[in-house]
Amino acid sequence: MKTLIRNARLLCPANGWDEEGALLVEDGVIAEIGKVSGKADETIDADGLCLAPGLIDLRVKIGEPGAEQKETLATASRAAVSGGVTSMVVMPDTNPVIDDVALVQFIANRGRETSDVRIYPAGALTKGLKGEAMAEIGLMSDSGAVFFTNGDLPVADPSVLRRTMGYAASCGALVASRADEHSLGKNGVMNAGALAARMGLSGLPREAEWIGLARDLLIAEATKCPLIIDQISTARSMEMIKAARTRGVKAYASVAAHHLFFNDLDVGDYLTYCKVNPPFRAEEDRQALIEALAHGDIDAVVSAHDPQPPEEKRLPFAEASFGAAGLETVLSALLVLVQDERLSMLDALRPVTTSPADIIGLPQGRLAEGAPADLILFDPEKPWLCEREHLRSRSVNSPFDGRRMVGQVMQTFVGGKNVFAR
């Protein structure tokens, strides 16, 4: 089976392409790019739309197993394809926690059986995510866990973290950690500052992120364990990571797409859809994160998809759960920045395609002959209104609800198969 996509704007951050051309897919793999000579069984006229690698999302929370009322792999997949996400790494903080080989295999199998996108499990860093005993990192790694994380609650005890990261490094495993000294702002629900004080809400101080980050970077340096800093939210965090990199620390930085779009003022009238952790910070922080992205200092932009049903969000702000649905808005959030001339198109795509693929060692995320044909066709200028009624995720807790967006996916392909068309 050969499919030709012609008359497209080919975009590939891996080799810096941004040019008109065609692409030939053969048996689920990219066969030819640019000027295509081979004959096709089927031809798609892209009519000038952008053709790019499908998005690779390094942080997605799913309710499967244990909280299927929030989201299953199948419902998340439905949301993902409409947002252009073709590969997702799912977090281990489910019930039960993904902390052994059988569960890693269960997730991978369920992904293959029920989802249209590629599912990669992340393994728990410690057993039960309790932060006490290291999980079977080596065995889970062999079974396909792409990295190891303690989820939303980082390992509190530095000696446990140090031993676990040292061991992970020896297995050649990658660790991801939320930078957070949890004891600071334990009851916090939004960014600490004047607005939180005025609204009578407990704050999550920036220092909690910095202290947690300083610790994690020092342990990464001592253990030589490569580390993904999961969802930075402040300007200074970026400076700290850059300084560590100059000392030779292998530190990747991720940022959630919503942190590029919102600041703490957006919490406004106690909007629980804007209750996320790390919280939306000050406008200076948001601007600094966009700048860092433009300079290529941020390695991955993630959806931080965290579906929460109404019973978790229709509550007073302090009582509502953290988390935002994000799979359907990552690409648009970045395309808005392209439209605003804050980012070039390739700089916007790199942290959601080639760069995360390279971090976890995937062949996709690029337009290259022989690479899996995980592709998206999108209109970079199409305006649309994000309305929760029209989101495909089982839980629709999107902070973008009611926002005007720019840029939308028109078609999505995974392994050459068309899995979504608008």
Question: What is the smallest separation between the CB atom of 397 and another protein, expressed in angstroms?
Answer: 15
Closer residue to another protein, CB minimum distance, 258 or 275: 275
Total Cβ atoms within 10 A of residue 417: 14
Amino acid, res. 144: G
The span from the CA of 174 to the CA of 240, in Å, is 20
Q: Token match 């030819």: residue?
A: 32
Question: What is the smallest separation between the CB atom of 270 and another protein, expressed in angstroms?
Answer: 3
Question: What is the smallest separation between the CB atom of 203 and another protein, expressed in angstroms?
Answer: 8
Closer residue to another protein, CB minimum distance, 201 or 289: 201
Closer residue to another protein, CB minimum distance, 272 or 353: 272
Q: Contact, 61 vs 122, CB < 8 A?
A: no
Closer residue to another protein, CB minimum distance, 191 or 364: 191
Burial of 241 (0-12, 13-18, 19+ CB in 10 A): buried
Chain Cα centroid distance, residue 287: 19
The span from the CA of 9 to the CA of 28, in Å, is 20
Q: Which residues contact 218 (CB under 8 A, 6 or more apart)?
A: none
Closer residue to another protein, CB minimum distance, 196 or 362: 196
Closer residue to another protein, CB minimum distance, 199 or 345: 199
Question: What is the smallest separation between the CB atom of 200 and another protein, expressed in angstroms?
Answer: 3
The span from the CA of 229 to the CA of 147, in Å, is 12
Closer residue to another protein, CB minimum distance, 271 or 345: 271
Give contact residues for another protein (rule: CB under 8 A): 192-195, 197-201, 269-270, 311, 314-319
Tokens found for residue 337: 């920045």
Closer residue to another protein, CB minimum distance, 319 or 369: 319
- Give SS3 for 401: coil
The span from the CA of 99 to the CA of 112, in Å, is 20
Question: What is the smallest separation between the CB atom of 391 and another protein, expressed in angstroms?
Answer: 21
Angle between helices 101-114 and 73-83 (to 10 degrees): 60
DSSP state of 372: B
Q: Token match 């941004």: residue?
A: 18
Query: Which ranges of 130-227 does DSSP label H, i.e. alpha helix?
Result: 137-142, 158-170, 194-199, 206-223
Question: What is the smallest separation between the CB atom of 195 and another protein, expressed in angstroms?
Answer: 7
Q: What does 41-68 look like in DSSP terms, one character per residue?
A: SEEEE-TT-EEEEPEEEEEE---TTT-T
Closer residue to another protein, CB minimum distance, 199 or 294: 199
Q: Per DSSP, what are the bridge partners of residue 256?
A: 302
Closer residue to another protein, CB minimum distance, 39 or 198: 198
Closer residue to another protein, CB minimum distance, 65 or 193: 193
DSSP state of 79: H
Q: Which residues contact 187 (CB under 8 A, 6 or more apart)?
A: 202, 318
Closest CA to 80 of 353, 360, 391, 402: 391
Question: What is the smallest separation between the CB atom of 196 and another protein, expressed in angstroms?
Answer: 8
- Give SS3 for 121: strand
Question: What is the smallest separation between the CB atom of 318 and another protein, expressed in angstroms?
Answer: 5
Question: What is the smallest separation between the CB atom of 188 and another protein, expressed in angstroms?
Answer: 13
Q: Contact, 221 vs 241, CB < 8 A?
A: no
